[in-house]
Structure 1
Amino acid sequence: MPVNRKNAIVAIIGGGFSGAALAVHLHRAVERLEAVQVIVFEPRATLGAGLAYSTPEPANRINVPAGRMTLYPDDPDSFVRYLDRTNALADDAAAVLPDGQAYPQRSVFGAYVAAEIAPLLEAGGLEHRRSTVQHVGRRGNGWELLTADGDSHFADIVVVATSHPPPALPQVLQPLAGHSKLVADVNADAALDKIDAEDRVLIVGNGLTAADAFAALRRRGHHGPVVSLSRRGLRSRGHPAVPQEPYGDFTDPPSGRASELLRRIRAALRVSEADGATWHGVLDAVRLQGRDIWRNLPVNERRRIVRWLRPFWDAHRFRIAPQVETLLDAAVLSGQLQIAAGSLVSARPDKGGSLHIDIRFRGDKDVTPTDVDAVIVTTGPAHGGILNSQAFLSGLKQAGLLTLCPTGLGIRCDEQSRAVDRQGETIETLLIGGPLARGTFGELMGLPQVTEHAVYVAQVIARRLASVAAVTRSAAVQSVSG
C-alpha cells in the first residue's frame, strides 16, 4: 500500500450504519498508530442511522431482538444497556413482548449508534464532514475527493460504504411514473402521505419492506384492501416460538455446487423436523457459515443461487418482527390483505383517477384486470445500477476503477475487500465496505454480519498502515545510522 506520508488519512464515504461501524472499529484498530486521521463523509447531521435506522415511522421496528443488535461483536449487550440507560422504550408499550424480548423502533437503534460515535467525534478521534462526495480520482499515491460544496480533500485510503441504491421502477410501471399515488421509493420523505385511508393499494413485493409499508399504512388508519404481489408469493417469515440453536454443518466437506448445497440443507431440514424443531435453526446455521459456504462456490454457482434460490433465502433469512407478523396475520384473516403470486403485465392511469393494472396470477393463463388507487414499489435496491446511483461511483466506473460484481450483488472486490478494477487488478487503497461487498463475502446483509465485516476491513486497513509505518521507521533508522 503506497501510503508514505507521515499523517495517513482514511476517508469513508457514507455514514450510515456500515460507514459508522467501520469508523468506530477503525478508530479502535489504529489507536496505537501515530497520526492516522479518519474522516467520514456523510451529508446527514448524525452518523450511524442511514436509510434503515433514520426512519421516523414508528411502525418500522428492528426485525431481531434487541439482544442480538450491537455495534460491537465482542460486547453483545451494548445496545440492551443503552436501552436501560436511556429508558428508550418508556413510551413504546408494544416494544417488549411477554417473553421479555424487545423489538424497538428502528430509529432507536440509529440513536444508539450515534450516541456511541459521538464521544469519538468530540475527542477528535474521528471527523464528520457533512458533505456529499461528487468525485473521487487518483492524485499521486492517494485520492482526491471533491464534494458538493466545492471543497477538495486528499486521502491516502478511500472506503466506499454508501447505502444501497434506490429501487428501480419496474418497466411495466413506467406509464405511471410521476403519478401522485405511485410510491416508487418507500424510504423517501412522506412517501405514504398521499395514500388515503380507504384507498385500494397494490404493493409490489412481499419482503420486509412490503411488511413495513403495510404496517405504516395501518398505523395511519388505512383500512382499504391491499394486495401484496410478488412472483412467488413468498412472504417474509417470522421468528420461532421457542429459540433454537443453529443446526447443521454445510462447510465440511465444502459444497462446490448450488444443487449439492441445496440437497444438504433439505436433508438437515428433514432431520430437524423429525426431531420436533422448525426450519429456523438450519437456516441460522447456513447464515452463520455463509461466508465459508460462499467462498467454496465458484462464480457460476454463486450466480445460480442468486438467480434461483435468493427469493427463498430472503423470505426465510430476513424475518419480520413479531409485532408486524401479528398485524399481517390478522389482516390476512380479515381479508384486508391478500398475499399473491403473480406478475405485472401492464399498467396505465385511468381517466377517473384510479390506476389500471393487468396482473397474471401464478397458475393462470389469463390476465386479471385490477383497478387500484395507489401502488407501492418494495422490490428492493437496484443493485445492478449501483455504479450509476451516485456521481462519484459513476466517475470511478468510467475510469475503470470500480466494476460490478459478476454475481450482480454489488461492487467487485477481493477477499480483503479491495476494489477490483476493469483489468482484474486489485486497488489496495480503494476498499468496499458493508453490503456492497456481499458478492464476494456472501452473507452480508444482516447487521451482525455487517458489523463483523466492518471489524475485518478495519483490521485490513490497520495492518497495512502499521506495515507502512514500520517500513518508514526502518528507513529513518537506516538514514540516521548512515
Structure 2
Amino acid sequence: MSEIETTTIAIVGGGASGVILTNHLLQSDRDDLRIVLIEQNNEAGLGLAYGTNQPEHILNVQAARMSALETRPDDFIDWLRDHGYDDVDLPTRYMPRMLYGNYLKSIIERHKADPRFCIFKAKCVAIKENDTQAELIFDDGTKMGATFVVLATGHDETPSPAFKHSVKLGRAGDNSRPYDGDTLIVGTGLSMIDTWLELESRSQAGVIRAVSRRGLTPLSHGPTKPTPLEDDEIPFGAPLSAIMRWLRTKASLHMENGGSWRDVVDGLRPFTQRLWKSLSIADRNRFLRHGKPYWDAHRHRLAPQLRDRLDAAIASGRVELIAAKLGEISPGANGYEVALRRRGATRAEKIDAGRIYDCSGIIRNLGQSPNPVMRHLIETGMAKPDEVPIGLALSKDDSLLNHGNTSSRRLFAIGPLARASYFEIDSVPDIRPQCEALARRLL
C-alpha cells in the first residue's frame, strides 16, 4: 500500500457501525481507495448486539427498516427472501438478531474479493497523528499508517468499573455453568432482557433480580401509525420542561381521540436528533438524569411476545424488578453480597448473588471507559469527552475535538461513540445515515 499514492481509511471496530461504513465506502469506484477493517474478535459484523446465538434475542426494529444501505432500503428484506423467508408480513416482523449478524457477515463476504479491502484482526491500543498520516498501534507492537481513522468501537465489552465483580453476558467471566444462588442484573433495559433470556435457556436456578434506580422496563410494541409532525409544531430550543410538557400533552390528546402513545413517540423519531441538538448542555445532562429512563421504556420497546413472557416471569416470582440505588458489592458466602437502598426507603439492605451481570447501558463518563484506545486518546489530549460525557466531543463533521477544542483532520467517530452529539445513534436506522454522510466526506 505504501508504494502507491492511496487514501487508506482504517476503521477500528468490526461491529454493525464498522461494517455499514465499510459498505458505504466500497460503493465508490475509486481505485486509489484502501479500506482496513480492524476487529479484535473472530468475526467482523457481529459485535455485542448481533454476536448472539440465542434465537429469542430479536431485533427491536421491523425488518423493513434494517437495510445497511441508505440507497437500497430493501437490502435486508431481499437477503431474507434469498435465505427462505418469504412471509407476507416479512417487512413488519422483528427478526432474530443472530440472523441480522449473518446478514452483516454476508456484506463483508460481498467485499472480500475487492482488492481495496482487507480485515486486520488486532486490538488497537493507541493512535498517533501527524501532518501526513495517523498511526495506529496494536497490543503486539504492530503499527499501521492511515490517511483517516474512524472509531467504530460501539459498546464497551467489559463491565463498568462502577460495578465490581460484575460480568458482561457472553464475555470474559461469563460461562454457561450453573452457579449457586440468585442472580443480580444491574439495569432493567433491553440488555437485561437479553441476559434474562439467556439465563432462562441455561436453566439457571434461583431468582433473577434486576435493579435500576427507577425499575422501569421496556414497554411492548403494538399497532402504530406514526403521528405526522411538522417542524413548526415541535418546540426546538425550548427548555426541557416545556418540551416534556408538550410531549405529554400531545400524547394525552392523541389517546383521547382513540390513538396510541406509540403513534406520538414514533412520529417524533425523525426529529429526536435535532431536538437533542437544540437543548442546552444543562438540559441535556438533566434529561439523562431524570428523563431518559422514561423515554427509553417508551421508545425502545419489546416485541409483544417477549413482553408477555417477562410479565409472566415477574408474576411467578422467577424475575424480581427492584427500584433501588446500589451500594457496596463485596464477596460473600453465596458469591457476592450487595447493598442496596430501595426507592423510598431510608435504610439499605443486603442481598446475595451468585453472579452479577452489568446491563447498565451507556457509560455516563467516557473518561472511565475500559477501552484502551479510548483511554489513550483522552489521556493524551487527542480526544475529550463531550460536556455531556456519554460520548466523545465531536465537530459537526464527526471529527474528534482535542483538549484544545481543535478539530482533528484525520480522526472521526461513528455510532455509539457519537451519542453526545446525536443522542439516538445506537440502532441501524440511526447509524446508517451517519455512515453514509461520513463516507461522502471521506471520499
Is 124-133 or 211-220 further displaced after alignment?
124-133
Is 315-324 or 256-265 further displaced after alignment?
315-324
Pairwise CA distance, 1:97: 12
Between Structure 1 and Structure 2, how many residues are aligned?
439
Q: Distance in 1 between matches of 2:428 and 2:344?
A: 37
Structure 1 counterpart of 2:129: 138
Cα contact 2:31–2:116 (8 A) shared by 1? no
Q: Is it true that 1:108 corresponds to 2:99 in the alignment?
A: yes
Cα contact 1:166–1:381 (8 A) shared by 2? no
Matches within 5 A, 1:257-276: 257-276=239-258
Pairwise CA distance, 1:386: 5.4
Q: Distance in 2 between matches of 1:225 and 1:377?
A: 17
Structure 1 pair 70–170 and aligned structure 2 pair: CA distance change class (3 A): same
Pairwise CA distance, 1:363: 1.8
Pairwise CA distance, 1:135: 2.4
Structure 1 residues 81-106: Cα deviation after superposition (integer angstroms, max 9, x where no partner): 212212379xxxxxx99998433321
Q: Is it true that 1:185 corresponds to 2:168 in the alignment?
A: yes
What secondary structure does 1:113 align onto? helix
Structure 1 residues 165-184: Cα deviation after superposition (integer angstroms, max 9, x where no partner): 2464465x53xx3xxxxx42
2:119 to 110, 121, 128: 128
Pairwise CA distance, 1:115: 0.5
Structure 1 residues 194-229: Cα deviation after superposition (integer angstroms, max 9, x where no partner): 444x84222221100111111111122235322222
Structure 1 pair 343–232 and aligned structure 2 pair: CA distance change class (3 A): same
Pairwise CA distance, 1:192: 4.8
2:301 to 308, 315, 319: 319
Structure 1 residues 107-161: Cα deviation after superposition (integer angstroms, max 9, x where no partner): 2111101112212221223221122223211243211122334432211111111
Pairwise CA distance, 1:232: 0.6
Structure 1 counterpart of 2:386: 405
Cα contact 2:187–2:360 (8 A) shared by 1? yes
What secondary structure does 1:122 align onto? coil
Structure 2 counterpart of 1:282: 264
Q: Is it true that 1:17 corresponds to 2:22 in the alignment?
A: no
Pairwise CA distance, 1:354: 4.8
Cα contact 2:157–2:171 (8 A) shared by 1? no
Cα contact 1:205–1:378 (8 A) shared by 2? yes
Q: Which amino acid is the alignment partner of residue 84 of structure 1?
A: R
Q: Is it true that 1:54 corresponds to 2:37 in the alignment?
A: no
Gaps of 5+ in 2: none
What secondary structure does 1:289 align onto? helix
Q: Which amino acid is the alignment partner of residue 15 of structure 1?
A: G
Matches within 5 A, 1:280-429: 280-351=262-333, 353-385=334-366, 388-429=369-410
Cα contact 2:227–2:263 (8 A) shared by 1? yes
Gaps of 5+ in 1: 90-95, 178-182, 463-482
Structure 1 pair 154–205 and aligned structure 2 pair: CA distance change class (3 A): same
Cα contact 1:250–1:286 (8 A) shared by 2? no
Pairwise CA distance, 1:350: 3.2
Structure 1 residues 335-376: Cα deviation after superposition (integer angstroms, max 9, x where no partner): 22222211223444333x354333322122233443343332
Q: Which amino acid is the alignment partner of residue 442 of structure 2?
A: I
* TM-score (ref. length: structure 2): 0.91
Q: Distance in 2 between matches of 1:392 and 1:169?
A: 16
Pairwise CA distance, 1:71: 0.5
Q: Distance in 2 between matches of 1:50 and 1:411?
A: 20
Structure 1 residues 376-401: Cα deviation after superposition (integer angstroms, max 9, x where no partner): 22112425235753333333223321
Structure 1 pair 355–9 and aligned structure 2 pair: CA distance change class (3 A): closer
Q: Which amino acid is the alignment partner of residue 380 of structure 1?
A: G
Q: Distance in 2 between matches of 1:375 and 1:399?
A: 33
Pairwise CA distance, 1:250: 6.3
Cα contact 2:224–2:260 (8 A) shared by 1? no
Q: Is it true that 1:78 corresponds to 2:69 in the alignment?
A: no
Structure 1 residues 390-439: Cα deviation after superposition (integer angstroms, max 9, x where no partner): 33333322332111011112111011101111111111221111121121
Matches within 5 A, 1:137-216: 137-166=128-157, 168-169=159-160, 171=162, 174=164, 177=165, 183-188=166-171, 191-196=174-179, 199-216=181-198
Matches within 5 A, 1:84-99: 84-87=81-84
Cα contact 1:166–1:382 (8 A) shared by 2? no
Is 68-77 or 212-221 further displaced after alignment?
68-77
Cα contact 1:192–1:217 (8 A) shared by 2? no
Q: Distance in 2 between matches of 1:385 and 1:457?
A: 22
Structure 1 pair 167–287 and aligned structure 2 pair: CA distance change class (3 A): farther
Structure 1 pair 167–14 and aligned structure 2 pair: CA distance change class (3 A): closer
Q: Distance in 1 between matches of 2:368 and 2:320?
A: 36
Structure 2 counterpart of 1:67: 64
Q: Distance in 2 between matches of 1:47 and 1:369?
A: 42
Structure 2 counterpart of 1:92: none
Q: Which amino acid is the alignment partner of residue 57 of structure 1?
A: Q
Q: Which amino acid is the alignment partner of residue 123 of structure 1?
A: D
Among the aligned pairs, what percent are the same residue?
25
What secondary structure does 1:162 align onto? coil
What secondary structure does 2:409 align onto? strand
